[in-house]
């Protein structure tokens, strides 16, 4: 083949060389059967023509990022003295070079693809057939972005280089994809000429410029899955590596603060020692350090606690319990409570503590109203034990299958500002949570406003997620669960 004039010009610009130093104006392609034959053919070529020093590339041993593989060499013709390029590859390598990675999959897997893969390949073939007929460039690009690249986004650096990122990637993910140090020092981002938050979801065509500090490191909050700061595993790994390099005492202190905050926010009844054992830590400081390092986050803690309680509930239920229905709060009434040793009793959730699935609970047999379900740390349960009425307390457990919602009271402390209630209401609605009631108290001490709200919550994990997001709103001091 003869190299196109435009390709020659591009190579001259890229390598900053004169036309005389372009050795692949004329090129030959040798197709063989096996990889070993590629190297054998290379030896024959070099024995027939004199190779040009510095013009040999082994893309078989070192493939390009797009999986292109081939041997490239440049030699001088004995007859004319002109340089020429010789490319040597197998038939499979040729398929990839000509038709892309999809052809490689087709070649390797033959007829093993699923229907979805085959439909995409068919769509690409159709695209090549009618691409010449498309007159609307916007329509063409929209089709490409929607149908082919729906799991990826392509953004630009300030220099115009294209960066391929997974869908929902953030500026922090982008920064770490460019350089680890840039990710560590990332403090803000400018997208298409405007400042955006660090949890901004990048879109196709965005031009991203990272605002970096001169020194410093990543925030532990970046690893919190509820905050959605990072999406890529590369970014998470780099952040954890940096945190591990910090002093152990600093991480122990930070881990203790983070755990205390989450236990207070969610009113977790388990002890720190009990939590540590769930993660196989014998020493509390090791547990704190792991949280400080970022190896354990608050969502993992909550999930481990609830999984442990569920296993215990299933064990007790298998021994003594039966399933009875709770008062339904949604269209699905499959949820229920495991009640040990009794059958058919009416049940109701205590309004004093409003337990939700995942909370440790106990039942109190009332006169004429069945069983009232309380959190085990409910003040009313403590009063029952104090007055010696424990014979009316029974063991109950949450059912493993449920799709109900439960009323949960939360309290939000914030410095009063215009639009505070609106922002909270919008955030709760965006989380698909129903707000049953809300009360705002202004003019409190230190100009604080108190918002008491009751939400319909599915489980503690959902509660933790919404509290975390409320905490991030401007002027919020604290958002926590209220047992009152």
Give tens-digit pLDDT for 42-74: 999 988 888 888 788 898 888 876 778 899 998
pLDDT band at residue 378 using 50, 70 and 90 as cut-offs: confident
392 in the same domain as 442: no
386 in the same domain as 318: yes
Angle, to 10 degrees, between the axis of helix 460-471 and the axis of helix 298-320? 160
97 in the same domain as 12: yes
pLDDT of residue 325: 37
**Is a pLDDT exceeding 50 seen at residue 329?**
no
Which range in 4-13, 103-112, 322-331, 409-418 is most confidently predicted, on average pLDDT? 409-418
Please tell me the distance from the alpha carbon of residue 77 to that of residue 23, in angstroms, as a whole number. Answer: 11
**Is a pLDDT exceeding 70 seen at residue 137?**
no
226 in the same domain as 158: yes
Task: Output 113 or 312, whichever has higher pLDDT.
Answer: 312
pTM, rounded to two decimals:
0.42
Which of these, 391, 296, 266, lies nearest to 341 by C-alpha position?
391
Pair 140, 130: CB distance under 8 Å: no
Domain that holds residue 229: 152-243
391 in the same domain as 411: no
62 in the same domain as 11: yes
Q: What is the pLDDT of residues 444-469, one digit of tens each?
A: 677 788 899 999 888 777 888 888 88
Determine, yes or no, domain membership for 107: no
**Is a pLDDT exceeding 90 seen at residue 92?**
no
pLDDT of residue 76: 82
Determine, yes or no, domain membership for 307: no
* Phi, psi torsion values for 262, nearest 5 degrees: -70, -40
Count of domains in the chain? Answer: 6
Which of these, 449, 454, 418, 450, lies nearest to 435 by C-alpha position?
454
Q: What is the mean pLDDT of residues 134-156?
A: 63
Which range is least confidently modeled, 32-36, 129-133, 319-323? 319-323
Contacts of 185 (CB under 8 A, 6+ apart): 212, 213, 214, 215, 216, 217
156 in the same domain as 120: no
Contacts of 342 (CB under 8 A, 6+ apart): 371, 394
Largest CA distance in the chain: 110
Percent of the chain with pLDDT over 70: 74
pLDDT of residue 335: 44
pLDDT band at residue 399 using 50, 70 and 90 as cut-offs: low
| CATH number of the domain to which 188 belongs | 3.10.20.30
Please tell me the distance from the alpha carbon of residue 469 to that of residue 224, in angstroms, as a whole number. Answer: 11
Question: Last residue of a domain, which of 198, 220, 243?
Answer: 243
279 in the same domain as 340: no
SS3 content of the chain, % helix, strand, coil (to 5): 40, 25, 35
Determine, yes or no, domain membership for 136: yes
251 in the same domain as 222: no
96 in the same domain as 11: yes
């Amino acid at each position: 083949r003869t190299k196109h004039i435009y390709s020659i010009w591009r190579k001259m610009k890229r390598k900053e060389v004169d036309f005389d130093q372009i050795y692949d104006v004329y090129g030959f392609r040798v197709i063989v059967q096996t990889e070993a034959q590629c190297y054998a053919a290379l030896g024959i070529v070099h024995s027939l023509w004199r190779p040009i020093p510095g013009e040999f590339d082994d893309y078989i041993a070192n493939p390009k990022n797009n999986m292109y593989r081939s041997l490239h060499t440049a030699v001088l013709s004995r007859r004319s003295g002109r340089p020429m390029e010789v490319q040597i590859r197998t038939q499979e390598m040729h398929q990839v070079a000509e038709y892309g990675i999809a052809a490689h999959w087709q070649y390797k897997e033959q007829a093993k693809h699923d229907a979805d893969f085959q439909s995409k390949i068919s769509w690409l073939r159709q695209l090549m057939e009618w691409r010449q007929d498309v007159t609307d460039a916007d329509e063409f690009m929209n089709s490409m972005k929607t149908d082919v690249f729906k799991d990826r986004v392509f953004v630009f650096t300030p220099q115009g280089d294209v960066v391929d990122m997974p869908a929902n990637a953030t500026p922090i993910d982008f920064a770490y994809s460019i350089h680890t140090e840039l990710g560590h020092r990332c403090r803000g981002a400018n997208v298409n000429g405007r400042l955006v938050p660090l949890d901004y979801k990048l879109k196709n065509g965005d031009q991203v410029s990272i605002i970096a500090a001169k020194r410093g490191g990543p925030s532990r909050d970046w690893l919190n899955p509820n905050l959605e700061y990072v999406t890529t595993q590369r970014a998470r790994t780099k952040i954890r590596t940096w945190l591990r390099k910090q002093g152990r005492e600093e991480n122990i202190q930070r881990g203790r603060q983070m755990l205390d905050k989450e236990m207070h926010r969610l009113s977790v009844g388990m002890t720190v020692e009990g939590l540590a054992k769930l993660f196989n830590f014998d020493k509390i400081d090791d547990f704190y350090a792991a949280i400080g390092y970022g190896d354990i986050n608050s969502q993992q803690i909550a999930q481990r606690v609830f999984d442990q309680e569920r296993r215990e509930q299933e064990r007790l239920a298998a021994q003594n319990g039966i399933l009875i229905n709770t008062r339904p709060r949604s269209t699905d009434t499959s949820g229920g409570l495991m009640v040990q040793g009794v059958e058919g009793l009416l049940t109701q959730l205590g309004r004093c503590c409003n337990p939700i699935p995942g909370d440790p609970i106990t039942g109190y047999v009332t006169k004429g109203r069945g069983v009232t379900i309380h959190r085990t740390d409910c003040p009313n349960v403590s009063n029952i034990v104090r007055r010696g009425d424990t014979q009316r307390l029974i063991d109950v457990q949450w059912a493993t299958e449920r799709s109900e919602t439960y009323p949960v009271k939360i309290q939000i402390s914030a410095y009063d500002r215009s639009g505070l209630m609106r922002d909270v209401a919008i955030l709760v609605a965006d989380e698909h949570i129903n707000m049953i009631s809300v009360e705002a108290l202004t003019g409190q001490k230190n100009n604080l406003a108190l918002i008491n709200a009751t939400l319909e919550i599915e489980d503690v994990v959902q509660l933790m997620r919404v509290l975390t997001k409320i905490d991030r709103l401007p002027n919020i001091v604290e958002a926590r669960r209220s047992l009152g």
